[in-house]
Chain A
Amino acid sequence: MKHEVHVGKHVGRPMERVEDAQLLAGQALFCGDMPERDGTLQAAILRSPHAHAEILSIDTSEALLQPGVEAILTGKEIKEDSDPFLIVLRQPMDQWSLATDRVRFVGEAVAVVVAKDRYLAEDALDYIKVVYKPLPIALHPLEAAKDGAPLVHPAVGSNVVSTRHFSYGEPDKAFAEADRVVELTIDYPRNSQTPLEGYVVLADYRREEQVYDVQSNFQGPFTVHPVMSKALRVKGPQLRMRSPAFSGGGFGVKQAMFPYVVLMCIASRRVGRPVKWVEDRLEHLTAAIAAPNRIIRGQAAVMNDGKVIGFRFEQLDDYGAYLRPPMPGPLYRQHGIMTGGYDVKHMTITNRLVMTNKTPSGMVRGFGGPQIYYAIERLMQTVAVELGMDHLDLIRKNLIPAGSFPYRAAAGALIDSGDYQMALEIATRDGKLDELKGRREKARAEGRLYGIGYAVVVEPAQSNMGYLSTINTVEERHKAGPKGGNVAYCTVNVDALGGVSLTADSLPQGQGHATVLSQIVADELGIEPHDIVCNMERDTQRDPWSIATGNYSSRFSSATAPAARLAARKIRAKMAKIAAHFLKVSPDKIDFSEGKIFAIEDPQKTLRFSRVAGTAHWSPGELPPDMEPGMCEIGVWSAPELEPPNDADQINTSLTYGFVFDYCGVEIDRDTGEVNIDRYVTMHDSGKLLNPLLADGQVYGGFAWGVGAALREEFVYGEDGSFLSGTFADYLCPTACEVPEPLILHMESPSPFTPLGAKGIAEGNVMSTPVCIANAVADATGIRDLRLPLTPAKVAALIQGQEPARPKGNQATPPMELSDRGIRGQGTAFVAAAPELVWQTLVDPDQLARVIPGCHKMELVGPGSYRAEMSLGVGIVRGRFEARVSLTDLNPPKSAVISGSLEGPLGSSSGSGNVRLVAVEGGTRISYDYGFDISGKVAAVGGRMLDGAARVLMSQFFQRLGSLTEGPGKISAAPPSWWQRLLKLLGIAR
């Protein structure tokens, strides 16, 4: 396409957002606020406490009797009513919207209760009895990828479900000729930008129409619409997906809700009423989604002058328990641009995809970019260190030269425009790099730990819908047919009085799309942005949509925005033709301004915008010959540059490629290990900016999450696969105190491939900021292996060495092998009753039931073996458990070993303890020690409180034991003192 820079009266200017009045007044309707039909039921989901287990049985009979419960669905009903979801790979790894025969991660949906309200639905969850048989787990990607690892999907025969090798240029030659090879392996953690609004689904099965009418905050892409409709066994139009105009943040995350859409559709069909489900925060953090954690072994072939001539990347990407479409997108989304901002012609890539017993991976802002740029930019910093070169000089030496755009990168990206050298010059000058270097020098002279980091990112936008087919071999691709493009829609309507409205396919998640669309259309039609009503709702039964519809890959500026201009231009052309007809001039001599349409050469010849629009509605007979009546136009846009992968496995993964250059100074507190960002500069070339204020908003937001990913955020799993980051007190999002204000700089190299010259800008900083901060920490400390997040504890350990082990006390040997998180404790108590009496209480089920806190029922199920039902709580989590307890090594009335397990909807636990009874004066001294592991919801949210809770339970236990054996008030941690014995003798005390 011919290059054209478009600056209009409104496009390119900072403007307040047309969305904000509603939001600020609290009147914007989010999905959870949408009106519900009378009789709508609410759903709550029972989730797996195990990382991997067979489901032996599910008993819902008692739960069905609970108040308000209308239905309960399990995997059995789901298998009856739906087909497994299609997946990208041809591998036997079926998945439904509920677990069927086994669970594969903590938090996997096992059953859904549909009830009158959410409180009652959650109450009933406690009464569903699921018997699990725990299985060995595959947790760490490297371990899971080994032969003999426990298999997440046994039918596949391996946890590595896809391996592909790619070679570009002459990598072997490059590595043979290199002066040296520099290598670095990185291990990028799991995280997510966690929108503040969780998933919401309101499904209504219309039996007579056989239509599933769904309102949700699903954000697209609609590539999964066919996945959902096929699972539901209906044709596309029978699955009506509606989205409200407002969504409480997306960041890609709201793509992965589609299994819940199907689940609620089936529930609605079963109960014959609408069913609504609102995800809570624990569900979201535990089970919604995570960006894949990835291990990348990177190698650079380097000449002594700093020129990098080749790269090798071996990637192992962890997709968790299921491969939900469009996974493994993050592994291929950046494929064409794996050489980053550098002019490197020779490269190999090996992509391996591993399944583990963790939450499925999915779309998160950056979509594989943070992982890859962490590898490339950490590797480049390491090259600089090894060569003894300044990092920035090394970057300069290797950047793609100015004047070589459009530039075809080794793996196929067609980088549209840029001037990277100029960007560096502006950034170092306007960001005052010299001053920052001075600060570093001064800090170091004072003995402080200070470092400067750099990062270079080529920011892709608007994904090529064919990128994922790169995972298939050339032969497979030929068989399946070519895939490419990215179709965008915008509809502009002008009513009979000249009122302008539009709809578009971008499903905004807060970015201000309506504002930009109104700017674009206002410019074309000579009206004001506030005169245009933008309806950003989407309805697949009513609005045009394609598989590319949605909010992802920063596609708005380069996909939906051009579609809007196309639609507006069609309207403009039509109105110009009508006006020309009336004014008796040629249509190319017509212009639009301030609500008027006039002859350029004779502005006296003018018509009101509304008058021209009205003609198309009121008097189609007056229109110029051959013109269609009405005034509604659809703009459809797909860029021709988005070609399918070629036979050399080259793929132009994106339409536009912006440029980001960041640098920062950080100081590390030697005592606490805290990383403080002293100054952060972020330089962007995103082509033409459509609204600079909105563009800066994307940079600020991406930067804030970049800071979170660098320093705080990680989804943490225990060694048993339990999930440990279930609250916002465990998963630490940065607040206003942790996010400094970065200095944002811009330059504009318009994209020749998009009509407005714009590129994406929303994802650059989530790719650049984590590695920029890590490079600064590497510069400050000289440490090479840095794993994010760089929390104070982790950094302190790196700079100070590991803390010495806790001194050995007189603690008894732990009764069982425990993970690091296992709860251990010991103590003594005194009971004013003889050991024999205490013993009798401990072995009598009825008595024991009264002693154990929260126990409702206890029965003897075998010699020394009990089954109990109890209610327990830790912090905010309370629920019912089934306990199995056995007494072994009985040495009445002196000692016993108690071991057992707890199982409930909130989690499971197993452990054991020793109890010793010693007769002392006035009663029995009981000494005990215990150790147990814990998983499930209790572990996810209660981790910080478990030790305290265990101590409280123990003290309650002995208090009750004391009451029962000797009457109330007879328990103390120590035998009665001589003073108490004296009082007793005197009859003053009992």
Chain B
Amino acid sequence: MSQLNNDGRSSVSFILNGNPVTGYAEPRMLLTDFLREEMGLTEIHVGCEHGVCGACTIRMDGLPARACLTFAIQAEGHRIDTVQSLAQPSGVLSDLQLAFRKHHALQCGYCTPGILMSSSAFLEINHDPSEEEVRDMLSGHLCRCTGYVGMVRAILEVARNRISA
């Protein structure tokens, strides 16, 4: 259990996209604000701050989680992954990201990092999903631009390609 400093902040250490990081956060600080303000991760998008829209979704120990419903200090000792974890270190995009591009699965792109996090976790568990299952997974996210069509196509295509690979 980390100690509070005299400025009311406590140290928080976790593995962020594969690298150990340490920062300082007030107990009330949200993980969204911590990742954006303290860690400089602008891919954390804040859409509603009440857990409905899913734009801020990250993976915590592999499972999708809402960063806006998580306090920064809850990340202590965990593994946190953002959309940066998907592409190769050289910058080559993952099959999922490329499929999103191919199928125009994004327009403004604000919801996209969160959706990629849920989708990547989903495809690890469900290797051969039906369209209904993909839509059910996507229903944890709001996209106001695309009508979800491109995303469904992209995710199903990635699943098929991974099976045949």
Q: Measuring CB to CB, which residues of chain A are less than 8 angstroms from any residue of chain B?
A: 16-17, 19-21, 23-30, 32-33, 118-119, 193-197, 246-251, 278, 280-281, 509-512, 693-694, 696-697, 700-701, 703-705, 727-729, 733, 735-737, 739, 741, 876, 941
Q: Report how far A118 CA is from B41 CA in the complex, Å.
A: 18
Closest to A707 in B: B147
B43 at interface, CB cutoff 8 A: yes
- Map CB proximity to A onto B47-84 as digits: 1 under 8 Å, 0 otherwise: 11110110100000000000000000000000000111
How near does chain B come to A736, taking the closest CB pair, in angstroms? Answer: 4
Top 4 A-B pairs ranked by shortest CB distance?
A26-B43, A510-B108, A23-B109, A248-B110
Q: Is the CB of B48 within 8 A of A24?
A: no
B146 within 8 A of A: yes
| B47 neighbours in A (Cβ, 8 Å) | 196-197, 248, 281
Contact B144 A511 (CB under 8 A): no
Residue from A20, A26, A250, A704 whose CB has the most chain B CB atoms within 10 Å: A26
With A700-B147, A741-B149, A876-B50 known as contacts, the answer to whether A195 contacts B28 (CB < 8 A) is: no
> How far apart are the CA atoms of A193 and B152 in the complex, in Å?
21
Cross-chain contact A700 with B49 (CB below 8 angstroms): no
Residue pairs across A and B with CB atoms within 8 Å: the count is: 166
Contact across chains for B145 and A701 when beta carbons are under 8 A apart: yes
Nearest B residue to A738, CB-CB: B139
Contact, CB under 8 Å: B42 / A728 = no
| Contact status A24-B142, CB under 8 Å | no
Chain B residues, Cβ within 8 Å of A693: 104
B108/A196 in contact, CB under 8 A? yes
Collect the chain A residues with CB atoms within 8 Å of residue B134's CB: 736
Closest B residue to A511 by CB, please name it: B107
CA distance A196 to B109 in the complex (A): 10
Write the nearest CB–CB distance from A673 to chain B, whole angstroms: 21
**Complex contacts, A17 vs chain B, CB 8 Å:** 101, 104
Number of interface residues of B (CB under 8 A): 54
Whether the Cβ atoms of A24 and B82 lie closer than 8 Å is no
Tell me whether B148 is interfacial, beta carbon within 8 Å.
Answer: yes
- Across the interface, A694 reaches (CB within 8 A) one of B33, B42, B52, B104, namely B104
Q: A30-B45, A278-B46 are in contact. List 12 more A-B contacts (CB 8 A).
A: A23-B106, A25-B97, A28-B109, A196-B45, A248-B47, A280-B49, A510-B106, A512-B107, A697-B145, A733-B144, A736-B152, A741-B147
CB distance from A233 to the nearest CB of B (A): 34
Query: Is B112 engaged at the interface, CB distance under 8 Å to the other chain?
Result: yes
Q: Can you spell out 5 A-B residue pairs with CB atoms less than 8 angstroms apart?
A: A26-B113, A248-B108, A510-B145, A729-B52, A736-B136
Assembled-state Cα–Cα distance A704/B149 (Å): 10
B56 to chain A, nearest CB (A): 10
CA distance A693 to B105 in the complex (A): 11
Whether B45 pairs with A16 at a CB distance below 8 angstroms is: no
On whether the beta carbons of B52 and A20 are closer than 8 Å, the reply is: no
Contact pick for B28, options A119, A511, A700, A728, CB 8 Å = A119
Contact A281 B49 (CB under 8 A): yes
A195 to B134 Cα, complex, angstroms: 23
- Within B91-111, the residues touching A (CB, 8 Å) are 91, 93, 97, 100-102, 104, 106-111
Measured in the bound complex, the distance between the Cα atoms of B83 and A20 in whole Å is 14
A736 touching B112, Cβ below 8 Å: no
Determine how close the nearest CB of chain B comes to the CB of A304; give it in whole angstroms.
41
CA distance A248 to B28 in the complex (A): 27
Question: Contact between B110 and A281 (Cβ–Cβ < 8 Å)?
Answer: no
Cβ of B95 to closest chain A Cβ, rounded Å: 12
Point out the residues of chain B lying under 8 angstroms from A19, CB to CB: 109
Q: What is the chain A residue whose CB lies nearest that of B44?
A: A26
Given the complex of chains A and B, what is the CA–CA distance between A733 and B138 in angstroms? 13
Evaluate contact between A510 and B109: CB separation under 8 angstroms: yes
Query: Which positions in B face A, CB cutoff 8 Å?
Result: 26, 28-29, 33, 41-43, 45-50, 52-53, 55, 82-84, 87, 91, 93, 97, 100-102, 104, 106-113, 116, 134-136, 138-152
Output the least CB separation between B81 and chain A (Å).
Answer: 11
A508's nearest neighbour on chain B, judged by CB, is B108
Q: How far is the CB of B38 from chain A (nearest CB, A)?
A: 11
Q: Are A733 and B109 in contact (CB under 8 A)?
A: no
Among B82, B134, B148, the most chain A Cβ lie within 10 Å of the Cβ of: B148
**Can you name the residue of chain B whose Cβ is closest to the Cβ of A33?**
B42
Residues of A contacting B82 with CB < 8 Å? 26
How many Å lie between the Cα of A197 and that of B104 in the bound state?
Answer: 20
Q: Which of A248, A697, A736: most chain B Cβ within 10 A?
A: A736
Shortest A482–chain B CB gap in Å is 37
Inside 8 A of A704's CB, which chain B residues have their CB? 143-144, 146-148
Q: Tell me the nearest residue of chain B to A25, going by C-beta.
A: B87
- Which residues on B sit within 8 Å (CB–CB) of A25? 43, 83-84, 87, 91, 93, 97
Q: Among B26, B52, B91, B104, point to the contact of A727 (Cβ < 8 A).
A: B52
Indicate if the CB atoms of B101 and A21 lie closer than 8 Å.
yes
Residue of A nearest to B100 (CB): A24
Q: Of residues A196, A704, A729, which shows the largest number of chain B Cβ atoms within 10 Å of its Cβ?
A: A196
Contacts of B139 in A (CB 8 A): 735-737
> How long is the Cα–Cα vector from A30 to B45 in the complex, in angstroms?
9
Q: Which interface residue of B49, B55, B140, B151 has the most chain A CB atoms within 10 A? A: B49
Contacts of B150 in A (CB 8 A): 697, 700
Contact in complex: B42, A29 (CB < 8 Å): yes
Contact of B135 with A737 in the complex, beta carbons under 8 Å:
yes
Q: Please determine whether B84 and A26 come into contact, CB atoms closer than 8 angstroms.
A: yes
**A697–chain B nearest beta-carbon distance, Å:** 5
**A30-B43 Cα distance, complex, nearest whole Å:** 9
How distant is the Cα of A30 from the Cα of B112 in the complex, in angstroms?
Answer: 13
Q: How far is the CA of A466 from the CA of B49 in the complex (A)?
A: 41
Contacts of B141 in A (CB 8 A): 735-736
In whole angstroms, what is the CA distance A215 to B117 when docked?
A: 30
CB-CB < 8 A to B143: which residues of A?
196, 704
CA distance A249 to B111 in the complex (A): 10
Which residues in B have their C-beta under 8 angstroms from that of A876? 50
Contact A30 B29 (CB under 8 A): no
Across the interface, which residues of A come within 8 angstroms of B48, CB to CB? Answer: 281, 727-728
**Nearest chain A CB to B61's CB is how many angstroms away?**
20
Asked if B108 and A247 make an inter-chain contact with CB atoms under 8 angstroms apart, the answer reads yes
CB distance from B132 to the nearest CB of A (A): 8
CB distance from B17 to the nearest CB of A (A): 10
**CA distance in complex: A248, B142 (Å):** 12
Question: Does A26 contact B144, Cβ atoms closer than 8 Å?
Answer: no
Residues of B within 8 A of A697 (CB): 104, 107, 145-146, 150
Partner of A700, one of B50, B55, B110, B146: B146
B78 CB, min distance to chain A CBs, angstroms:
20
The residues of A that contact B135 with a CB separation of less than 8 Å are 736-737
Q: Which of A24, A195, A701, A729 makes the CB contact (< 8 A) with B112?
A: A24
